[in-house]
Amino acid sequence: MVEFLGLWEILHNPDFKRIDFDTFKEDAGTNAFVFSIKNWTDELGAIGLFTKSGRYGGGIYAHIDIAFEFASWISPEFKLYIIKDYQRLKSDENSRLSLNWNLNREIAKLNYRIHTDAIKDNLILQELTPEQISYKYANEADILNVALFGMTAKQWRENNTDKYKMIITIPFCFVDI
């Protein structure tokens, strides 16, 4: 528990005395060690735990992260509920993100159709060869890529060789020339 408290302080408290904490942590392994919140806050400049005196409202207070860790340490049942709730929240979040991603894909699919129809109706001449037609579509796609992403599909591929395979399913953002 002392290690958790120290790590929490290191992450959240720039004034935490890390060197003094190492000594405190070593002492925690001895039989003579007694943990005192007053010593913890006074000697180390800790902020995660504090005490209030008084008949009403007095007691020991902790940041919610520390309270959760303490409750998890005391009760395996509480810890299991936290784990299950975390998994449920991540699942809900992934579900929402997935819906948003699918919506964006559908919008992209519709826009792709509008874009290609506009090219066909306004820029493709009867006398163009199939190769010239392909070039025309790719050129227009690159104009969109530069406007949206600041680079052509070829430039993106050259700069992101590791990510290139991940975008193969995106319908129109990057078109080969």
Q: Check if the beta carbon of residue 61 is closer than 8 Å to that of residue 50.
A: yes
- In this structure, the number of other CB atoms found within 10 A of the CB of residue 96 comes to 10
For position 171, what pLDDT does the model report?
47
Q: What is the pTM of this model?
A: 0.50
- Beta-strand (E) ranges in 23-161? 49-52, 59-62
Task: Collect the ranges in the chain with pLDDT lower than 70.
Answer: 99, 101, 162-177
Rg (CA), the chain: 30
**β pairing state of 59-62 and 49-52:** antiparallel
Q: What is the pLDDT of residue 77?
A: 94
